[in-house]
Amino acid sequence: METPKSPSAKEVLAFHKYDDVDKGNISHHHTIGQGAGQVAPGKHFHNGEDAPKLLEGVIFTGIITNYNRTTFRQVLDALVKLGASDTTSG
């Protein structure tokens, strides 16, 4: 069986003229950016400025006891910096 000939660069460009760039998550091609349907740049930190916070929308609930207060508070403070919400009490 003969291998099909690859299209020329001009044919590929014409074919892609109407492609679904950034139309949604399942698009064939994506540009770099922060919009829905775009890919994230390689250098982003999920700090709420250049990309969404990593744990945005995550909420911790419960009661902090004297037994675990110091360690648990440090962990929660770190997670809040990543976008989580702390509604614990105690």
Q: What is the pLDDT of residues 50-82, one digit of tens each?
A: 677 888 888 888 888 887 788 888 889 999 988
Query: How many Å apart are CA 6 and CA 17, to the nearest integer?
Result: 18
pTM of the model: 0.43
C-beta separation of 69 from 77 below 8 A: no
Structural contact between residues 30 and 55, judged by C-beta atoms closer than 8 angstroms: no
In this model, does residue 4 exceed pLDDT 80? yes
Position 3 pLDDT exceeds 80? yes
